[in-house]
Amino acid sequence: MKTRIPAIARKELLHVMRDWRTLLIAFVLPIIMILLFGFAITFDIRDIKLAVADEDRSRASRALIEKFTGSTYFRLVATPSNPKDLLALLDSDEAQIGLSIPEDYGRNIERWEGDTVQVLLDGSESNTATIAAGYVEAILTGMNISTVKQVLSRGGVSSRGIPPVDLQIRVWFNPELESTYTIVPGLVAVIMMIIAALLTSLTVVRERELGSLEGLIATPARRHEIIIGKMIPYLVITLIDCMMAAMMGVVVFKVPFAGSLSLFAGTALLFAVSGLSIGLFASVIASNQVLANQIVILSTLLPSIMLSGFMFPVKSMPGWVQAVTYAVPARYFVTICRGIMLKDQSGVDLARPTLFLVIFGTLLLSLAVARFKKKL
């Protein structure tokens, strides 16, 4: 039996090409969003204001301070003579972290007697404090390892009781621990979900408001042919947007693309069906365009950002919240994007999130078809 899907798809494509607002959403908004969010969102904290109270003023203490000021993460803003002044600097927001180096620090380190360096952190911004504490720990650990190697090279293991351990840390997939490498693949998934749903959210309700739906209902085309025919042009547009966003991530933000482009395109197609089906479902059940847009924003924007693993790891969420994330299609495509772009994972490795995308796409599209009635 001859299908009418191509004819409906051709009609919808002509409508898209003649509507500059739809073209704006389809091709300009994704570029603006990935550039804006890609540069604005970062988990790397740089230029942390550092205050140092150095009571020792030895070569060893200066070496310690240079470890901080020599990195891009810290900026020396004050050098009070009294460690008690550090708290006042934190209190007035003149500094975010205070470092107190005790007297005789250099002598104790040289004799391998050990010493305590006090670090004060401004906990009013807990995220900054946590990350800054990680930086400090990394610097001090690096210095300890360096000192151990120097003593080992002088043959002082048995006399000084130094453990013969050479700690070597290697980070895979993101050696420099650049947060951009984590954010941009997730951004591709989040932006595509929002754009896909927005594109189709007005397809049915707009025709109902303009009165052109009557002519479509009068045709012999069945419900699934109308819905699928309307989806096809937006499916192609969404796939182009997804490839364009990934390319911008590679070119602009220097994110590696280690995996298969064909696997990425195939899974992106499945993800696009889920996003477009959400928009179609909203368009079918909404009584006007404003309500359709509101449904799409509430069902895609917040869940995709908060519950997909894009901003916060799903495993760190409470159990009941983790259960809710299974109903967020963006969660699976965030995993797929990071797996393909950073880890070069295969289709077998990504079988589980891909299967969930197939289930979601089928379910949401079926709901849209079931709710669409060929009557006014």
- Same domain for 258 and 145: no
Question: pLDDT (tens digit, 9 = 90+) per residue, 120-145?
Answer: 888 776 667 778 888 888 887 777 66
CA-wise closest residue to 195 among 346, 25, 359, 336? 25
- Same domain for 131 and 53: yes
**pLDDT confidence tier of residue 234, bands split at 50, 70 and 90:** very high
From 160, 186, 217, the end of a domain falls on 160
- Asked if residue 331 is part of any domain, the answer here is yes
CA-wise closest residue to 119 among 172, 48, 188? 48
* Predicted local distance difference test score (pLDDT) of residue 189: 92
Residue 63 or residue 153, greater confidence: 63
Give the pTM: 0.77
* Predicted local distance difference test score (pLDDT) of residue 165: 42
Beta bridge partners of 50: 76, 97
pLDDT higher than 90, residue 236: yes
- Asked if residue 245 is part of any domain, the answer here is yes
- Same domain for 332 and 229: yes
- Asked if residue 166 is part of any domain, the answer here is no
Got the DSSP string for 301-332? Answer: IHHHHHSSSSSS-GGGS-HHHHHHHTT-HHHH
- State the average pLDDT for the chain: 84
Question: pLDDT (tens digit, 9 = 90+) per residue, 329-339?
Answer: 999 999 999 99
- Asked if residue 341 is part of any domain, the answer here is yes
- Asked if residue 301 is part of any domain, the answer here is yes
- Asked if residue 106 is part of any domain, the answer here is yes
CB-CB contact of 53 with 80 (8 Å): yes
- Mean pLDDT for the stretch of residues 217-234: 86
- Same domain for 34 and 55: no
Beta bridge partners of 225: none
* Predicted local distance difference test score (pLDDT) of residue 76: 92
- Mean pLDDT for the stretch of residues 241-257: 92
pLDDT higher than 80, residue 159: no
- Same domain for 148 and 74: yes
**pLDDT confidence tier of residue 314, bands split at 50, 70 and 90:** confident
Q: How far apart are CA 366 and CA 362, in angstroms?
A: 6
pLDDT higher than 60, residue 160: no
Q: Which two tokens stand for residue 347?
A: 């289709």
The conformation of residue 178, written as its DSSP 8-state character, comes to -
- Same domain for 254 and 302: yes
* Predicted local distance difference test score (pLDDT) of residue 1: 46
pLDDT higher than 80, residue 203: yes
From 99, 133, 160, the end of a domain falls on 160
- Mean pLDDT for the stretch of residues 167-192: 79
- Same domain for 197 and 119: no
From 126, 160, 194, the end of a domain falls on 160
Task: Give me the amino acid identity at 26.
Answer: A
pLDDT higher than 90, residue 163: no
- Asked if residue 182 is part of any domain, the answer here is yes
For the chain, the domain total comes to 2
- Same domain for 187 and 150: no
Assign residue 107 the CATH number of its domain.
Answer: 3.40.1710.10
pLDDT higher than 70, residue 170: no
Token pair 């009013």 in the structure block, residue: 124
**Which residues are within 8 A (CB) of 66 and not within 5 positions of it... i.e. 6 or more apart?**
none
- Same domain for 213 and 257: yes
CB-CB contact of 275 with 231 (8 Å): no
Residue 146 or residue 234, greater confidence: 234
- Asked if residue 173 is part of any domain, the answer here is no
pLDDT higher than 60, residue 45: yes
- Same domain for 275 and 321: yes
- Same domain for 37 and 155: no
- Same domain for 221 and 114: no
**Domain containing residue 104:** 48-160
